[in-house]
Structure 1
Amino acid sequence: MLDTHARKYVQPVIQRSADRLLKLGMTANQVTVASFIIGTTAGLFVYMGLPWAGVLVLWLSGFLDAVDGSMARATKPSPFGTVMDVTFDRIVEISVILGVAFLYPDIMWAALLLMASIVVSMTIFLTVGNVSENNGVKSFRYQAGLAERTEGFIFLTAMMIFPSAVLWITLAFFAVELFTAGQRFWEAKQLLS
């Protein structure tokens, strides 16, 4: 929801960063890989008891993830770049969920439910993107929903910095992901029937 509706407010900063990196000779795919490497350390940091370091690298990774998309649209988007971007985004999220789950093994079951809900929501998202006509600037049809990447980062941040509420935050994230999957499934029925 925030990615869809608030992007216009931060896009100028993202675009300036994309333009600078392009002038330095970097490619969108290089920034995607950098975002991935930085982001996957978030789970390690939280597991090591450094949650604020985890939060910092998670959000830096997310910023670079937005920058790489602007870079790709300003040059020639690569289909493999899209595959890398979507795959690496999920691995970054999984790294945080695993870091939290291993740090607090009592919530492992909730973390598994959360990851299952992300798989279902992303399956619908990617399938609809594949079987429907693209209607936007991204490389495939983008289905907005209650939980987009920024909402996920807010939940992941809360999971890292509020240990006393980590179970309830994880379960709330799970519920929001399930709701989003339902939204996307209903939209798919309307769009594709």
Structure 2
Amino acid sequence: MLDTKARHLVEPAIDKAAILFLKSGLTANFVTWVAFIIGVTSGIFIYIEQPILALIVLWVSGFLDAVDGTMARQTKTTPFGTVLDVSFDRLVEISVILGLAFRYPESMWVLLILSVSIIYAMTIFLTVGAVTEKNGMKSFYYQPGLAERTEGFILFSLMIILPNYLLIIGLVFIVVEIFTSLQRLKEAREILK
């Protein structure tokens, strides 16, 4: 929801970074790789009990993830760039979940269910994007929902900084993902008739 409704608030910073990187000769795919490498370290920092570093690398990665898309749209988007972007996003999320699971094994079951709910929500998102003829700002149809990347980052951040409430936050996150899945299924039924 925030990616769709509030992007305009951070768009100036994203645009400036994209222009700077392009002028520096960087490509969108290079920035995608950098965002990925930075982002996956978040799980390591969670595991070694460095929550502030985990938050910093997670959010820097998320910012660069927005910048790489803007760079691609300002030059030329490629199907492979889209594959890298979407798949690397999931690996960053997996890193956070694994870091939390290994640091707090007593909460592993909620993190496993959370993983399943994210996989299902993303399966709907990607399948609708692949089979619909609608086009959006991205190189595929972007199906908005209650839980988009920013909401995920906010909930992951709360899990990282409030580990005593990991179970409760995880359960809320699961409910948000289930709601988003149902929301996307309903929209898919309407647009794919």
Corresponding residue of 1:137: 137
1:80 and 2:87 correspond: no
Using structure 2 for the length normalisation, give the TM-score: 0.99
Q: Find the counterpart in structure 1 of residue 176 from structure 2.
A: 176
Residues 56-103 of structure 1: CA distance to partner in whole angstroms, max 9, x if unpaired? Answer: 000000000000000000001111000000000000011001100110
- Structure 1 distance, partners of 2:73, 2:157, is 29
The residue aligned with 2:165 is 165
Cα shift readout 1:91-139 (whole Å, capped 9, x = no counterpart): 0011001100110001111000000000100000000000001331100
Partner of residue 32, structure 1: 32
- Cα distance in 2, alignment partners of residues 34 and 18 from structure 1: 14
The amino acid across from 2:175 in the alignment is A
CA distance in 1, matches of 2:53, 2:178: 29
Which residue does the alignment assign to 1:147? 147
Task: Write the distance in 2 (CA, Å) between the matches of 1:19 and 1:134.
Answer: 28
Q: How many residues get paired?
A: 193
Query: Which consecutive aligned stretches of 4+ in structure 1 deviate over 4 angstroms post-superposition?
Result: none
Indicate yes or no: 2:69 matched with 1:99. Answer: no
**In 1, Cα distance between equivalents of 2:189 and 2:134:** 16
Q: Does 1:20 align with 2:33?
A: no
- Give identity over the alignment, percent: 60
The amino acid that maps onto 1:192 is L
Distance 1:76 1:145 in 2: 26
Which residue number corresponds to residue 49 of structure 2?
A: 49
User: 2 CA distance for matches of 1:21 and 1:5?
Assistant: 25
Between the aligned partners of 1:25 and 1:135, the Cα distance in structure 2 is 29
- The CA distance in 2 between the partners of 1:55 and 1:21, in whole Å, is 23
Q: CA RMSD in A?
A: 0.6
Unaligned runs of 5+ in 2: none
Which amino acid letter does the alignment assign opposite residue 85 of structure 2? Answer: D
Q: In 2, Cα distance between the equivalents of 1:172 and 1:147? A: 11
Structure 1, unpaired ranges of 5+: none
Q: TM-score under structure 1 normalisation? A: 0.99
Amino acid at match of 2:185: F
Structure 2 CA distance, aligned partners of 1:30 and 1:135? 25
Q: Deviations over 1:5-25 (max 9, x none)?
A: 000111111001000000000
**1:190 aligned onto 2:190:** yes
SS in 2 for 1:178: helix
